[in-house]
């Protein structure tokens, strides 16, 4: 038995959605789940107890950032990420691949690994599959991810095929290098926007028998319809009894559509990032609470929301805080946005149990896309 | 009976310190008390429930800032400051005087009031004693302060005397203009660093029978010994049964020395301001946790502290957050610094009850001034 266990409790009869429980050394995660992103070992503006309060059961941290600062050795000596950031629930680390490839001109890819310059000070670094494993084992998350290449969008067939095949070879190297017994290692399906490459990638990774599978290289600028197509060709080739994680996706519509296509896990910086720019999710679409329209609006951000922000503070007050550069403003919008997505996942799980997910999707999106009354 | 009541429960036999209870429409405040400053209707980086957790029983808000943004009319329509900022404990507003005088070249003082330019957009404004009362009544704090002139340091005798006498005339105008029954109005003793002017100011204000007295114009750059001298000539002339509030003072040593000289209330931006610069109070003096020396220090900020920060997070983690520009870093240092001062006040109150304040002062300052081991 591995470090994690995944149980599918129910598979919906009218969609590919399923209800599951993912057990890690740090607790049980009800799936489908949305994972807040804590890039630098902190979910921006949130404290650990506030994360518990909004219902987060697992957070993501970024290997690339933590490798550069404060360094994985320091984190390891602090008791790993859990001890360092005082978070006793589950953690997943990405592999650093996506972050490094996002550096563009500042990185160079070879079969051996990736040479890149730090975005902090320009210093030169090298990460290979083996080094990514070493870093992630030191960080000590419950779930680590293989070091992959995320092809850009658009990318031609030949580039995407070569990239996907290297990702498969790297997956083998990661498996060989990974030896931390209390940490699970997930594979990552690549293949860009080409159905046959997605299938080949999935089949090859499944042959390696990972305890879970990420689907990478989506939500990179392509139309959403194309992303859904790729899910539809990929998910059916993944084992039913393993969790499926759609990486970097987190808008409300994509969560609904992803779950309907059989996805169990999601992560995205969207809720925390837009919160810092003064935008919040509501049932009637996003609302830019910084706008003058809300200066005298004493309603909560989203009537009916059960979060600390909506239970205590008005749009007018939050607008005042944001305009005045007060930290509490960003704190309150962040709490709300995370709670909004996590609560949506709770509703999604409840609807799966009643075979009512298509109905929830339709009614949610109708109201969401209609905008404010 | 007025909006507030003040009961002196015990007066120490070996100092002028006393234990009291200040009852306002929003609760009972144990004195001596330290009041965190919430300039823009938020104590920077803190939520209301975190303020309760660190033990704050009253906070201060700044009339000048709230008059400019979001405007006192808006705050009034939001249910006053209590409703606007979702703080159901007590609030005190300053008069705007100190803030306006701090504008320097941007303001002009006359008998009628002060003309000044906004630090936000340069727009022209005028605040008189009557207008300050109107603003503070709209803000709706439990305690308002008279509009005073705070003389600079140093200032010559003649300027200081004229200024103090105008402050006395303004105090009468404030009394005449103030008519909010659920709000107390405190007088403010001025007189610079001249003992006879301090005495004259105190005597005149006491003749007006305010329910409490601020002591203003101290901690403006003068040596601490001079501040203590001014307290020693002022406090004995104030009524025993009214609270005495030393405005703008909040370093640990000044709190101890002030209480010994009969002060009941303090406020200061020091704990929240130094927190944002990465400095924290400890029993062994202030510590700049941003420094490289703490990069591998897994101890809490101040061993023995009972705050959320010290109970959960290490110096190394907090340093990482501060260096990385993460909001949680400033949140954690702010929580700690406020708890440190409020806990010091708890110890001060306990020591007064045992006639042991001089001993606490000596032992605290010895350790505090000695610095880190």
DSSP B77-106: HTTHHHHHHT--SEEEE--SHHHHHTTGGG
pLDDT of residue B104: 83
Q: CA quadruple B366, B367, B372, B373: dihedral positive or negative?
A: positive
What percent of chain A is helix, strand and coil (3-state, nearest 5)?
Answer: 45, 15, 40
Contact A41 B317 (CB under 8 A): yes
| Residue B370 C-beta-side C-alpha neighbours within 13 Å | 10
Give which of A44, A324, A325, A336 to mutate to test B binding, by max B Cβ within 10 Å.
Answer: A324
For chain A, percent of residues with pLDDT exceeding 70: 99
Q: What is the largest CA-CA distance in chain A?
A: 60
In this model, does residue B373 exceed pLDDT 60? no
| Contact yes or no for B45 and A328 at CB 8 A | yes
| A282-326 residue pLDDT tens | 999 999 999 999 999 999 999 999 999 999 999 999 999 999 999
When scoring B320, B322, B331, B332 by the number of chain A Cβ atoms within 10 A, the one with the most, hence best to mutate, is B320
Query: Residue A24: what are its φ and ψ, rounded to 5°?
Result: -125, 175
Q: Which of B74, B295, B326 sits opposite A40 (nearest CB)?
A: B326
Residue A296 C-alpha, separation from nearest chain B C-alpha, in angstroms? 7
What pLDDT shows up at residue B371?
80
What percent of chain B has a predicted confidence (pLDDT) above 90? Answer: 95
What is the secondary structure of B208-259 as a DSSP string?
A: TT-SSEEE-S-SSSS-HHHHHHHHHHHGGGS-TTS-EEETT---HHHHHHHH
A-chain residues near B323 (CB < 8 A): 69-70
Which of A102-116, A253-267, B63-77, B185-199 comes out lowest in average pLDDT? A102-116
Q: Are B74 and A296 an interchain contact pair (Cβ–Cβ within 8 Å)?
A: yes
- The band of B269, judged by pLDDT with boundaries at 50, 70 and 90, is very high
**ipTM of the prediction greater than 0.95, yes or no:** yes
The reported pLDDT for the residue numbered B1 is 60
Residues of A with a known catalytic role: 94, 267
Q: Do A313 and B46 touch (CB under 8 A)?
A: no
Taking an 8 Å Cβ-Cβ cutoff, which residues of chain B contact chain A? 40-42, 44-49, 69-70, 74, 77-78, 84-86, 295-296, 298, 308, 312-314, 316-317, 320-321, 323-324, 326-328, 330-331
Q: Which residues of A touch B69 (CB under 8 A)?
A: 320, 323-324
Closest CA to B320 of B328, B331, B310: B328
pLDDT in tens, B326-344: 999 999 999 999 999 999 9
Tell which residue, A70, A152, A61, A139, has the closest CA to residue A103: A152
State pLDDT tens for residues B113-148: 999 999 999 999 999 999 999 999 999 999 999 999
3-state secondary structure of B39: coil
pLDDT above 90: percentage of residues in chain A: 95
What's the whole-number mean pLDDT along residues A22-44? 98
- Among candidate residues A124, A39, A131, A24, the one with its CA nearest the CA of residue A85: A39
């Amino acid at each position: 038995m591995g470090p994690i266990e995944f149980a599918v409790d129910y598979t919906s009869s009218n969609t590919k959605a399923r209800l599951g429980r993912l057990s890690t050394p740090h607790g049980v995660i009800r799936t489908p789940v949305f994972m807040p992103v804590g890039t630098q070992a902190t979910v921006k503006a949130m404290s650990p107890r506030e994360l518990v309060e909004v219902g987060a059961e697992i957070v993501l941290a970024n290997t690339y950032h933590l490798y550069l600062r404060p360094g994985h050795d320091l984190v390891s000596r602090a008791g790993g990420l859990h001890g360092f950031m005082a978070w006793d629930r589950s953690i997943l680390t990405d592999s650093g691949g996506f972050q490094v490839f996002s550096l563009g001109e500042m990185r160079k890819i070879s079969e051996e690994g990736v040479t890149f310059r730090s975005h902090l000070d320009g210093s030169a670094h090298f990460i290979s599959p083996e080094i990514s494993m070493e870093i992630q084992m030191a960080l000590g998350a419950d779930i680590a991810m293989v070091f992959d290449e995320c092809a850009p969008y658009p990318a031609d067939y030949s580039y995407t095929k070569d990239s996907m095949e290297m990702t498969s070879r790297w997956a083998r190297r990661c498996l060989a290098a990974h030896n931390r017994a209390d940490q699970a290692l997930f594979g990552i399906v690549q293949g860009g926007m080409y159905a046959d490459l997605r299938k080949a990638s999935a089949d090859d990774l499944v042959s390696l028998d990972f305890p879970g599978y990420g689907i990478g290289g989506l939500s990179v600028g392509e139309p959403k319809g194309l992303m859904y197509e790729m899910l539809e060709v990929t998910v059916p080739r993944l084992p039913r009894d393993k969790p499926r994680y759609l990486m970097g996706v987190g808008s409300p519509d994509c969560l609904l559509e992803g779950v309907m296509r059989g996805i169990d896990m999601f992560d995205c910086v969207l809720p925390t990032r837009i919160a810092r720019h003064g935008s919040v999710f509501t049932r009637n679409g996003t609302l830019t609470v910084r706008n003058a329209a809300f200066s005298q609006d004493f309603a909560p951000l989203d009537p009916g929301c059960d979060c600390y922000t909506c239970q205590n503070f008005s749009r007018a007050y939050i607008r005042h805080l944001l305009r005045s550069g007060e930290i509490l403003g960003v704190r309150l919008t962040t709490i709300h946005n995370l709670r909004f997505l996590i609560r949506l996942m709770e509703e999604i799980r409840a609807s799966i149990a009643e075979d009512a997910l298509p109905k929830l999707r339709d009614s949610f999106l109708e109201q969401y896309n209609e905008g404010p009354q």
